[in-house]
Chain A
């Protein structure tokens, strides 16, 4: 098991361009979360999937953001018409939820986005 992976690790783009990030969760993890972290702050929840279903989206997630998890495995996060305020670290986490108890989220290394 290689852990959660994210690609790319760094992305520099110009304002107005579209970007897409990929997250590969730990295999057999049925939950996948996206968070955003800005400098000096803790991560903030963006959205989450249980298998292929997107079950919740934060108010932080404007309509320029879209996330998918086709087939319930990897996930993509797309930002359209990027703005300078989108510059942040985008974190992906996965967990396995089965019945009761508290699942532990395992985080990937993140994708650092810089919008010029």
Chain B
């Protein structure tokens, strides 16, 4: 079945550092790919998405490119802020099915000033 493998955390970075969180997937169909973020005490929020190969999703300075050849969707940000501290989840959905989301285990990111 479908699965998502995510870089294990926790990850601790200094403010203004470059961020990469790795995500790879296994899917039988043609999935859409997502990054969701969970800030402390809040619910899951969609951060960005990409629906086909070579698409780039971007939001709030974060970017991720759908790479079919490497089955990856790595999350990047050039300069992180303390407010980016959260848990980040990579996920996929089968766009031709019921579009249920299959999530990775999450990566906890802490940014220190």
Residues of A within 8 A of B (CB): 4, 31, 33, 35, 40-45, 48, 50, 55-56, 91, 93, 95, 97, 101-110
How far apart are B78's CB and chain A's nearest CB, in angstroms? 25
Alpha-carbon distance A41/B4, docked complex (angstroms) = 12
Interface residues of B in 43-65 (CB under 8 A from A): 43-46, 49, 51
Q: Mind listing 13 A-B residue pairs with CB under 8 Å? A: A40-B105, A40-B106, A41-B106, A42-B6, A42-B104, A42-B105, A43-B44, A43-B103, A45-B102, A48-B98, A102-B49, A102-B93, A102-B95
Q: How far is the CB of B88 from chain A (nearest CB, A)?
A: 10
Give chain A residues whose Cβ lies under 8 Å from the Cβ of B93: 102
Which residue from B32, B95, B98, B106 sits with its C-beta under 8 Å from A42?
B106
**A107 in contact with B44 (CB, 8 Å):** yes
Describe B's contact surface by its main secondary structure.
Answer: strand
A104 with B49, Cβ < 8 A, contacts A33-B100, A48-B98, A55-B98 known: yes
- B19 contacts the other chain (Cβ, under 8 Å)? no
A99 to B38, CA, bound (A): 29
Write out the residue numbers on chain A whose beta carbons fall within 8 Å of the beta carbon of B103.
42-44
Nearest 3 CB-CB pairings of A with B: A42-B103, A107-B44, A45-B100
- Distance (Å) between the CB of B48 and the closest chain A CB? 11
B25 at interface by CB-CB < 8 Å:
no
Closest chain B residue to A106 by CB distance?
B46
A1–B30 Cα gap in the complex (Å)?
32
Contact B101 A108 (CB under 8 A): no
Given contacts A33-B101, A43-B89, A107-B45, 7 further A-B contacts (CB under 8 A): A42-B89, A44-B103, A55-B98, A102-B49, A104-B49, A107-B43, A107-B44
Residue numbers in B under 8 Å from A97 (CB-CB) = 99
Evaluate whether A102 and B101 lie within 8 angstroms (CB atoms) in the complex, with A107-B43, A107-B44, A109-B42 already known: no
- Give every chain A residue within 8 A of B45 (Cβ-Cβ): 107
Counting chain A CB atoms within 10 Å of each CB, which of B51, B91, B101, B105 scores highest? B101
Distance in angstroms between the alpha carbons of A102 and B44 in the assembled complex: 18
